[in-house]
Each structure stands twice: as C-alpha cells, then as structure tokens.
C-alpha cells in the first residue's frame, strides 16, 4: 500500500501581507482557510520561548500545519527523509506550510520568540512520530514501489 508522501518541495512559504492593509504605524497579517492556508483550521497553538532553544523533532502521519513566527526569529528545518531544508521566519507576514509526513524542527533564536501553529486536525498523540529512525521506516514503508517494465 502506498500513500502520498510529500517532499520538502511541498513545504512552501505562505504570504500574509495584504496591499494597503495598514497605516504607517500598524500592519495587518491575514491567514484564511482556502487562501494562504490550504486547509480548514481545527487547532491553533502558540509556542512561547524565554531563551534560545530547539523544539519540534517530530512528524505527523495525518496532520498538516502552517507555522507563523508572530514575534522574534525562528528557523524551521523540514526533512523528507532524503533532503533537508531550512526556512527562516521572522515576523507575522510570512509562514511555512508543513504537510503530513514531513519531519520538522524549530530553532528559536531569540528570547521572546512566539510561533503560532495552525493545524488541520485536533490533537492526537497517535498521529506523532517522535523518533527519527521510526520516521525513516514510516517513509520507506509507504514509498511508492517502482514498476518493472
């Protein structure tokens, strides 16, 4: 059995800037279902840091996420088991989509960083893959089998 296993190329940036969306003293950042966020949001959580740290270190079997750094600076590493890519986030105007089946880690670079995560599913501990070797086995188990001509 094979399922769609995304590659890191599917971890794309999303842009929340709107033209003429503020004044000289304020800005508006918007993330809407079906526009910047290609799924219905069923869960939102914030990660607040009081020091430089690294978090994440997991993949999801079914849950897709949009990560937006609303304050501070965060470097997101995405990994599809073959390739890794780092994406720098700073400020609420841009985020990154992380589809299910991608390993992700976040490095919080400055004190006071806040990362907002939008999820298409509610929390389910069974959806998490927290061991990298298990993640690689998961990817291998569901990889499409090459056909022989």
Domains of the chain (ranges plus CATH)?
Answer: 8-17+30-141 (2.60.120.10)
Query: For 47, left (φ over 0), alpha (ψ -120 to 50), or beta?
Result: beta
Catalytic position from the list 48, 57, 58, 60: 58
96-133 pLDDT, tens digit each: 999 999 999 999 988 889 999 999 999 999 999 999 99
Distance CA 66, CA 35 (A): 12
Q: What percent of the chain has pLDDT over 70?
A: 82
What sign for the dihedral angle of Cα 54, 114, 34, 94?
negative
- Is the separation of the CB atoms in 12 and 94 below 8 Å? no
Distance CA 69, CA 79 (A): 19
In the annotation, is 58 catalytic?
Answer: yes
- Average of pLDDT values for 1-12? 77
The answer to whether the pTM exceeds 0.75 is yes
């Amino acid at each position: 059995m094979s399922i769609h296993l995304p590659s890191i190329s599917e971890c794309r940036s999303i842009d929340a800037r709107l033209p003429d969306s503020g004044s000289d003293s304020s800005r508006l950042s918007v993330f809407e279902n079906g526009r910047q966020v290609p799924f219905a949001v069923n869960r939102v959580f914030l990660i607040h840091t009081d020091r430089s740290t690294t978090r994440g270190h997991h993949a999801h079997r079914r849950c897709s996420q949009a990560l937006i750094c609303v304050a501070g600076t965060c470097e997101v590493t995405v990994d599809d088991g073959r390739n890794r890519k780092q994406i720098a986030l700073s400020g609420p105007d841009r985020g990154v989509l992380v589809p299910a089946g991608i390993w992700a880690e976040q490095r919080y670079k400055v004190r006071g960083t806040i990362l907002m995560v939008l999820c298409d599913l509610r929390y389910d501990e069974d959806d998490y893959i927290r061991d990298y070797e298990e993640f690689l086995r998961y990817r291998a188990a569901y990889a499409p089998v090459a056909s022989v001509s």
